Amino acid sequence: MGLYGVMRTGVSGMNAQSSKLGTVADNIANSSTTGYKRAQTEFSSMILSQGAGTYNSGGVEAKTLYAISEQGALSYTTSSLNLAVDGNGFFVVANKEGLNPALTRAGAFVPDGEGFLVNSAGYYLQGYPVTNGAAPAPVANGLGGMEAVNISQSQLEAVPTSSGKLWANVPEGAALVPAADLPSTNSPTASYTAKTSMVVYDNLGNELTLDIYYSKMTETAADSDWEVTIYNAADAAAGGGFSYSTPALSTQTLTFDVTTGDLTAASPTDITLTVPNGQTFDIDLSGATYLAADFTVTEVDANGNAPSAVETVEFGDDGTLYALYANGDRRAIYQIPLADVPSPDKLTPLSGNLYRMSNDSGDVRVGFPGEGGLGDLVVGALEGSNVDLASELTNMIESQRGYSANSKVFKAGSDLLEELVNLVR
């Protein structure tokens, strides 16, 4: 090899330092890029076999590594659509057609003209749609089953009531209501112990008021029976109350244990009814009590809403995207997953702060924020670049000096070779 080997070694060193300077340049250029992960160049020696008494110079090989798993600093913003991951995991994004899914830590999402959430590189945030309020199940080992997240919910929506809850305390000292006068008879002379009302919605979003009557029927040393009767308030007599123009929507008998004040084990715990032009559903009565106190509604709730437009959207810490309606209703529309791989630093970087799985990174695993070792979702924040400018400037100077030193080696070999050629003159 001789002098030619010396020159090749110098060229190898210059190429390696040039590669290092390239990573430094990229890092400095992206020191303010959201979600950028720094690159670094490491050197590996190449040694040639040696003869007795001579040394054959080898060279150096440059390898680029990525600090993808290194967390960048979080900065808080005024946008509720900006997202960051604190810990392990990546957002899943794809192109407009939903193809070529990739991973990213850049969570500066904004809605485009069609309402889709897009980051600064033009990639669409992917999520699982929430159907009928049921939490979606992620595809644990793949990026399928997702769709581009759209926050433009401009269509008016009316949701009929499909469940309700009414927990109340009935007074222990109440007088019995005669069987002939129970509200279920719908008699003009009907009487009752207590009355409350509850608002529900039919299929078109019409608001219906339910009149709900509680009546003490019987009492023994062991238990006490109470009738719960529900009427449509719109069918009440002039001025309200009995008799209603239509039969009761539903009637149920609750049995209380007089020693504990709770429902007995054999007692029903709900009442089933069908709303006119609405759904059949159960009202949960399981929290009813029988205590020495006035009639008191302790908890009441019913889902559904009247026709209403979406005013805004917001993310929950678990990745759920909620639509907030003008009437105050709050409904989940998407849940945003996170994806991770066993070796994030071995992912393949792409333009736009994207990463794709490689043979060395391992297979992807998908879950929701805060579950199974995945990081937490931070709403209204962005993850900054993990580049340290001071370190990069130091690396730049080192690379400069190293390149210059290797060029001197090349020049020395060239000069010696020229001297050797001149010997024959």
Q: What is the pLDDT of residues 376-406, one digit of tens each?
A: 999 999 999 999 999 999 999 998 998 888 8
47 — pLDDT class (breaks 50, 70, 90) = confident
Average pLDDT over residues 249-268: 97
- Asked whether residue 21 falls in the same domain as residue 57, the answer is yes
Q: Which of 7-11, 150-154, 280-284, 383-387 has the lowest mean pLDDT?
A: 150-154
**DSSP summary character for residue 90:** B
Range of the domain at 371: 74-152+311-383
164-191: string of b/e by CB count within 10 Å (b at 16+)? Answer: bbbbbbbbbebeebeeeebbbbbeeebe
Average pLDDT over residues 245-262: 96
CB 286 within 8 A of CB 164: no
Rounded to two decimals, the pTM is 0.65
DSSP-derived secondary structure for 190-216? ---SEEEEEEEE-TT--EEEEEEEEEE
- Asked whether residue 166 falls in the same domain as residue 301, the answer is yes
Rounded-to-integer distance, Cα 37 and Cα 35, Å: 6
Quote the tokens at residue 318: 């678990």
Nearest 5°: the CA angle 34, 35, 39 is 115
Rounded-to-integer distance, Cα 407 and Cα 324, Å: 65
For residue 7, what pLDDT is reported?
A: 80
Write the secondary structure of 353-412 as one string of H (helix), E (strand) and C (coil).
CEEECCCCCCCCEEECCCCCCCCEEEECEEECCCCCHHHHHHHHHHHHHHHHHHHHHHHH
153 — pLDDT class (breaks 50, 70, 90) = low
Closest CA to 395 of 71, 17, 35, 11: 17
- Asked whether residue 147 falls in the same domain as residue 97, the answer is yes
Count other Cβ atoms within 10 Å, centred on residue 101: 20
- Asked whether residue 32 falls in the same domain as residue 147, the answer is no
- Asked whether residue 244 falls in the same domain as residue 334, the answer is no
CB 233 within 8 A of CB 211: yes
For residue 296, what pLDDT is reported?
A: 97
For residue 197, what pLDDT is reported?
A: 96
- Asked whether residue 283 falls in the same domain as residue 325, the answer is no
Domain boundary among 307, 333, 352: 307
- Asked whether residue 292 falls in the same domain as residue 193, the answer is yes
- Asked whether residue 79 falls in the same domain as residue 103, the answer is yes
Domain boundary among 277, 307, 337: 307
Domain boundary among 307, 330, 359: 307
The domain that contains 220 carries what CATH number? 2.60.98.20
Rounded-to-integer distance, Cα 154 and Cα 159, Å: 15
The dihedral through the CA atoms of 337, 342, 344, 348 has a sign that is negative
- Asked whether residue 202 falls in the same domain as residue 342, the answer is no
Question: Over 60: is that where the pLDDT of 154 sits?
Answer: no
- Asked whether residue 193 falls in the same domain as residue 327, the answer is no
Number of separate domains in the chain: 3
In the block, which residue shows the tokens 């929950």? 316
- Classify residue 311 as left (phi > 0), alpha (psi -120 to 50) or beta: alpha
- Asked whether residue 262 falls in the same domain as residue 170, the answer is yes
- Asked whether residue 78 falls in the same domain as residue 38, the answer is no
Question: Over 70: is that where the pLDDT of 51 sits?
Answer: no
